[in-house]
Structure 1
Amino acid sequence: MNPKLVRLLGALMLLFSIIDTAEGQAIVDGVNTQYGQIGTNVTLMCKNTTNRVVEWRLNDSKIIGTKDKELTGTSLTLFNVDASQKGRYSCHSLESGNAYSSVLLLLGYPPGKPQVTCWSARYPQSAVCSWKLENQTYLPTRINVTYSHGIEGAERCSSEETLQGNCTIKDIKLYSNIPYTLKVTATNPLGVRSTINQFIVEEIIKPDPPIDVNVSPIPNQPKKLLLQWKPPASWPDLTFFLLKYRIKYWLEGSARYRMIENIDRTSYTLSGLRSRALYFVQVAAEDFIDNGVPSDWSPPVSARLWSN
């Protein structure tokens, strides 16, 4: 058979296997699926019957009308539905018990507004954006992410990254007053929500924390500690894009800390400390000319001052 004809027939079969029948409804692989929002009223209609009254079942168990379920002719209305009411509903003949039709009811929420955060830990090479929804939908929710710079055409983030909840923008434009525009759209059978986030790359610089942070006593120096560290391994260019550092340290048991800023090297001697005491220290990195924001703090390390 002609390969083009085979592809055409395959596309037609896929089209007929997924047919939107109404808002919140779909037929997938021959099974009628209806979607409802938790906390609202949902009405199910019996199909393929001319009878005026039918019997409704949920997962093959007969449904009896109550204050939260109303049986009206060939319809079933569920009031203020909750997650426990999802399942396969079917309508049947009162005389024979034969099924007329069935529907799989799935319950959840429309997507909330995506909450987007963008930063550049690998400046000047790339920026990364991540997102999360305001709420759990409990329904299959598709995320689509695009970005653009100025009037340039929008580019779609890779599906692999999108599934992981992030998008990497490479070959970023440096020192541009034109912002990047990132659009995140969440779609499920109950609704669509989008967020548009704009940023200047230099304003979102945020290095990763320094690594291999170590603090140690200095022999014969009972009031000093030697602090050493390495730049974040993810920072790509320390020759033309320098980093500086800040230090936070505190005495064991104290809620107060001291801060030292604008350190342009990867070691520092803490002095004027309390003899024989135990001190905790953290280090953060930031762009040398104060673009963006400092990194998160490194995990705390500790050392006790030298004593005879």
Structure 2
Amino acid sequence: MAWSSLFVTLTLLSCIPGHNALDLLKAATASNNLPAIPAVQCWCAGYPNQTLCSWPETSQSPPTQYIATYSERHTQSATKQCHLIPPGSSSSALSSGSSNSSGQLWHCHLGDLKLLTDYIINITAVNPVGSSSHLTSFMLEDIVKPDPPIDVRVSPRSSRKLMVVWSPPPTWSNLDIFPLKYQIQYQWENRGTPQSMHLGPFERTRIELGLTPGRTYLVQVCALELLGLGECSNWSSPVKITMPKS
């Protein structure tokens, strides 16, 4: 038998109890030059229709191309093409939170998604040797992740009071219909030991903090969908402030 012609298909199925997501990784293995299985992450930065998936660019040879499709999981609806955005692109489909890393990532934009609907997305890497696929199931409500708030500003009102003000992420365009709420995180060191405090969530875009005179703090803000969909994980860049001494 000629081992060079041997073709093996490996399928890994993972179902996590208590989660709606179903991840299926399928690799067709012919040689060491087979494209790597795309490590795909999906999120919705502008509810309900600013949804992107991303995966790292590969340095493998021969060059890899991608096929990206999605469809409703429990219906006979037609399969749609996910609009591919190459690494380094300045496409308007990229949210501000993802564009910072677009030089190393492929993206695809999913349009016309509906609420309370289970979707399957299939990202297949292809080169002349073979193909590898990542197949994932998700619901839009489970991947809501607003971009970080912008224009975070801090101003001491006294040696113990600090006003923090910010603006909503510009990629969240439906504030009247889908309001946001916010969390505040501030960090400091106490005798060399890192300390942190979280406040919120609340709907206002400003808050007054009671802090210690003379101490230096790092302040960050994170946005959440009002109904609590998704997680608060996209924090703004930290703003450093040293409080006046008494």
Kindly report which structure 2 residues correspond to 1:66-81, keeping only aligned pairs within 5 A, or say none: none
| Residues 247, 259 of structure 1: 8 Å contact kept | yes
Unaligned runs of 5+ in 2: 6-29, 90-105
Aligned to 2:234: 296
| Residues 51, 110 of structure 2: 8 Å contact kept | yes
Give yes or no for the alignment of 1:270 onto 2:194: no
Match of residue 166, structure 1, among 107, 120, 136: 107
Match of residue 146, structure 1, among 58, 69, 73: 69
Distance (whole Å) between structure 2 residues aligned to residue 280 and residue 199 of structure 1 = 35
Distance (whole Å) between structure 2 residues aligned to residue 197 and residue 37 of structure 1 = 25
Kindly report which structure 2 residues correspond to 1:25-40, keeping only aligned pairs within 5 A, or say none: none
Match of residue 81, structure 2, among 156, 167, 188: 156
Partner SS state of residue 115, structure 1: coil
| Residues 183, 197 of structure 1: 8 Å contact kept | yes
How far 1:121 sits from its partner (Å)?
Answer: 0.2
How far 1:251 sits from its partner (Å)?
Answer: 2.2
Give yes or no for the alignment of 1:115 onto 2:28: no
Q: What is the TM-score with the length of structure 1 in the denominator?
A: 0.60
Partner SS state of residue 142, structure 2: helix
How far 1:37 sits from its partner (Å)?
Answer: 5.3
Deviates more, 1:230-239 or 1:150-159: 150-159
Q: Given residue 281 of structure 1, which amino acid in structure 2 is its aligned partner? A: V
Give yes or no for the alignment of 1:285 onto 2:220: no
Match of residue 225, structure 1, among 151, 158, 162: 162
CA RMSD of aligned residues (A): 2.3
Give yes or no for the alignment of 1:234 onto 2:157: no
Aligned to 1:255: 194
Deviation by residue 1:135-176 (Cα, 9 ceiling, x = unmatched): 6422121211111123211012235x26762111122202x2
How far 1:254 sits from its partner (Å)?
Answer: 4.5
Aligned to 2:134: 195
Deviation by residue 1:195-224 (Cα, 9 ceiling, x = unmatched): 111110011000000000011111xx2211
How far 1:126 sits from its partner (Å)?
Answer: 2.7
| Residues 111, 136 of structure 1: 8 Å contact kept | no
Match of residue 180, structure 1, among 116, 119, 124: 119
Match of residue 208, structure 1, among 127, 134, 147: 147
Distance (whole Å) between structure 1 residues aligned to residue 147 and residue 223 of structure 2 = 7
Distance (whole Å) between structure 2 residues aligned to residue 206 and residue 263 of structure 1 = 17
Number of matched pairs: 199
Aligned to 2:52: 128
Deviation by residue 1:66-86 (Cα, 9 ceiling, x = unmatched): xxxxxxxxxxxxxxxxxxxxx
| Residues 48, 113 of structure 2: 8 Å contact kept | yes
How far 1:110 sits from its partner (Å)?
Answer: 0.8
RCO higher in structure (CA 8 A, sep ≥6) = 2
% identity of equivalent residues: 36
Deviates more, 1:193-202 or 1:292-301: 292-301
Distance (whole Å) between structure 1 residues aligned to residue 181 and residue 160 of structure 2 = 25
| Residues 69, 79 of structure 2: 8 Å contact kept | yes
Aligned to 2:16: none
How far 1:300 sits from its partner (Å)?
Answer: 0.6
Which structure has the bigger radius of gyration?
1
Deviation by residue 1:71-122 (Cα, 9 ceiling, x = unmatched): xxxxxxxxxxxxxxxxxxxxxxxxxxxxxxxxxxxxxx21121111110001
